[in-house]
Amino acid sequence: MTDVNSTISRAEVCAAAIADAFAEDGEIFGSPMGTLPMLGVRLAKLTSNPELVISDGESLFLGGVPPLFAKGDVVEGFIPFRRVFDVVAYGKRHVMMGATQVDKHGNQNISAIGDFAQPQRQLLGSRGAPGNTVNNRTSYWVPKHSPRVFVEKVDIVSGVGPKAAKAAGPAAAKYNDIHRIVSNLGVFDMRGPDDTMRLLSVHPGVTVDDVVAATGFALHIEGDVPTTREPDSTELMIIRNVLDPKSIRDREVPPVEAAK
């Protein structure tokens, strides 16, 4: 068994912060893209939100909560891509996506860097981001917080932030809900003035100045910024011994030499 009193890693703090983003969601489809989001969603299901509906990331709703990337658990439903689109429109879904760029107004870019007609760097394409952000709750996960990711204005708007949604009219704004942005440095929401990004907490060992320096726009910061909570012993046991015994999480967020 892992010693739960050993140093809590940055990845473990991120997992708990992601789990917290799904804690109040109730009985909806928690839909993570990537390793840490999957860990956080499964942690939420085993702790704060047992009602959450999760999938194997392929086409099955899982009745149990298997370790990362494991198969063969109890199945409770069928969720092929066509039904994912149905649930997006139905709205009972919270997706946590990645983001190559996020801007001050919570717009996200996974399409391309540079000019759309001839990009400097073509990325995946906009995938489901345009539809997700005007239909269901959407959060973002950024494993490497830097001024290249957090930019004044994204090159291409894939995911729609609240200000752009309002500008596009009631059909776009009605269900737009950019809930949390979790990075390896802190936790954010979109409740700053004029729908801008607000710093909610900094992870243990990170200062507000660190976050400001790694962000390419002026973050909204209110008073004393709290420290992101550390996972408790139950959560650490679940992360280390149940969901991610191989420490896949450390590949996405390498352990930080504790500066505490």
Partner 1 sequence: MTRPRSKKMTIDEVVAQLSDGMTIGIGGWGPRRKPMALVRAILRSDLKDLTIVSWGGADVGLLAEAGKIKKLVYAFVTMDTVPLEPNFQAARQNRTIPEICEWDEGMFQTGLKAAAERLPFLPMRAGLGSDVLVNNPDLKLVASPYADENGDLEEFVAVPALKLDVALVHLNRADEHGNATYLGPDPYFDDLFAMAAEKTFVSCEQIIDTAGLTTDVPVQRVLLNRMMVAGVVETPNGAHFTNCVPDYERDEKFQKHYAASTKDPEAWAAFKERFLSGDEAAYQAAVQAFHAEQA
User: Which residues bind to partner 1, rule: CB under 8 A?
Assistant: 58-60, 80-82, 85, 88-89, 111-112, 116-131, 133-135, 156-160, 164-165, 167-172, 174-176
CB of 244 to partner 1, least distance (A): 20
Looking at the Cβ atoms of 164 and 214, the one nearer to partner 1 is: 164
Half-sphere exposure of 62 (CA within 13 A, CB side): 23
Q: Is 85 helix (H, G, I), strand (E, B) or coil?
A: helix
CB of 136 to partner 1, least distance (A): 10
Cα–Cα distance measured from residue 39 to residue 18, given in angstroms and rounded to the nearest whole number: 8
CB of 76 to partner 1, least distance (A): 15
Q: What angle do CA 203, 209, 215 make, to 5 degrees?
A: 85
Question: Closest by alpha carbon to 35, among 60, 57, 61?
Answer: 57
Structure tokens at 194: 């004029």
Looking at the Cβ atoms of 80 and 226, the one nearer to partner 1 is: 80
CB of 5 to partner 1, least distance (A): 37
Looking at the Cβ atoms of 9 and 107, the one nearer to partner 1 is: 107
177-207 core/surface letters (b: 16 or more CB in 10 A; e: else): bbbbbbbbbbbbbbebeebbbbbbbbbbbbe
Looking at the Cβ atoms of 81 and 213, the one nearer to partner 1 is: 81
Looking at the Cβ atoms of 162 and 186, the one nearer to partner 1 is: 162
CB of 175 to partner 1, least distance (A): 7
